[in-house]
Amino acid sequence: MTKNPPSKQDLFTSPDYYNIDDLLSEEHILIRGSIRDWVKREVSPIIEEYAEKAECPTHLFRQLGDIGALGPSLPEKYGCGGMDEIAYGIIMQELERGDSGIRSMASVQGSLVMYPIYKYASEDIKQKFLPKLATGELIGCFGLTEPDHGSNPNGMLTNIRDAGDHYILNGSKMWITNSPIADLAVVWAKDEDQVIRGLIVEKGMAGFSTPEIHGKWSLRASITGELVFEDVKIPKENVFPEIKGLKGPLSCLSKARYGISWGAIGAAMDCYESALRYSKERIQFGKPIGQFQLTQKKLAEMITEITKAQLLSWRLGSLLNEGKATPAQISMAKRNNVHMALEIAREARQIHGGMGITNEYPVMRHMMNLETVLTYEGTHDIHLLITGLDVTGLNAFN
């Protein structure tokens, strides 16, 4: 993979229109600086080529471990960072500023694989997997969605059957980030009583395969696949003992959705900064396009929406730190901020004119990525209905 020419420098600084940095601790600012430096050094120079070739930069997993981006808010005794929720959010913001696919690598590993193992597995299983997942030596994936059950995971068909000293797993999962390169999968399946259970499936288990999904125009630097289970023998200790029902996987999604609310801000900031810079450099009708009122309207609305999103995620992080955030509050931030970022990417693309569709600028890549982010971890409309249910008490799902 060739690196970009040195002329294509990453000049990102990050806007802070409301002095939101004053709400952050010194540690938060230090963490942000170190993740930002890493993204500038390791992600920005290669990301366009990887996205163009639809290849996942798997060599970055170990580096994500080195910079503390894998499970940053889980306890240090398992090799994790022990950080607060705001620090976790800031890390996701900086990673997604680089590319949503890089943030996906970290948020799936931390929130969807390490978190359920930490929260629901036995101590032996935690010791076996968490330290190696934290360093990126092991890669994990999360299997909830099925070919016929996306927004409605409760209808899942994947099932486990008790076979004495082990379980037998059958079924399939679809659209699974990292599945073709994963060493283990956290999978959700129904038992004989139709109760959803969580379990760990390990690479190499007989009857387990992970075919890759090709042809994505979005999240191209992230690898996606299926999980196929044909009479897979699962040791009993790999099944989470206590957690039962949909709240198991949904509790993991709450963690990841919160991270995405910050990540989307990163993508939006990158598009905004690129558009702002371009608007001052690009001359039409004898003046910079940034001098036209219509361009200024776009930029003014962008920075307003970014600022509102920053405040939303910061406040949500504070509520999470205090143990007070509700799943519906998390839903609102995920939906609002991803939609905001996608709108900004589209407007920024317009400000760049024809150049906006090329890989000279990051906006089209962010825009295409955000189409996935709008859909995964609960679609935009599902999150609207979660808020609708929360404010009316009336359930649109049943």
In angstroms, what is the minimal distance from the CB of 180 to ligand FAD?
Answer: 12
CB 370 within 8 A of CB 267: yes
Q: Which C-beta is closer to ligand TGC: that of 262 or that of 361?
A: 262
Stretch that binds ligand TGC, among 9-17, 198-206, 251-259, 343-351 (CB under 6 A): 251-259
Q: Which of 100, 183, 99 minimizes the C-alpha distance to 141?
A: 183
377 in active site: yes
Q: Pick from 53, 247, 297, 324: which binds ligand TGC (CB under 6 A)? A: 247
Q: Which C-beta is closer to ligand FAD: that of 210 or that of 295?
A: 210
DSSP state of 3: P
342: Cα separation from own chain's centroid? 15
Q: Residue 314: which H helix or E strand, with range?
A: helix 293-321
Interface residue list for ligand FAD (CB under 6 A): 108, 141-145, 150-151, 175-177, 219, 224, 372, 375-377, 379, 381-382, 385, 397
Compute the Cα dihedral for 113, 116, 119, 124 and give only its sign.
negative
**If binding is defined by CB under 6 A, does position 378 make contact with ligand TGC?**
yes
Residues for the chain: how many in total? 398
CB 171 within 8 A of CB 189: yes
Interface residues for ligand TGC in 226-245 (CB under 6 A)?
Answer: 245
Strands 283-284 and 287-288: what pairing? Answer: antiparallel
CB 256 within 8 A of CB 112: yes
End-to-end CA distance of the chain: 50
Amino acid symbol at 100: S
Interface residues for ligand TGC in 177-206 (CB under 6 A)?
Answer: 177
Q: Which of 15, 74, 83, 52 minimizes the C-alpha distance to 360?
A: 52
- Which residue's C-beta sits nearest to ligand FAD? 150
Interface residues for ligand TGC in 79-118 (CB under 6 A)?
Answer: 104, 107-108
Q: Which C-beta is closer to ligand TGC: that of 183 or that of 360?
A: 183
Q: Which C-beta is closer to ligand FAD: that of 14 or that of 111?
A: 111
Exposure of 344 in the CB half-sphere (CA atoms within 13 A): 32
**If binding is defined by CB under 6 A, does position 250 make contact with ligand TGC?**
yes
**If binding is defined by CB under 6 A, does position 153 make contact with ligand TGC?**
yes
In angstroms, what is the minimal distance from the CB of 338 to ligand TGC?
Answer: 11
- What does the binding site for ligand TGC look like in residue numbers (CB under 6 A)? 104, 107-108, 142, 144-145, 151-154, 177, 245-247, 250-251, 253-254, 327, 376-378, 382, 386, 397
Enumerate the active-site residues.
Answer: 377
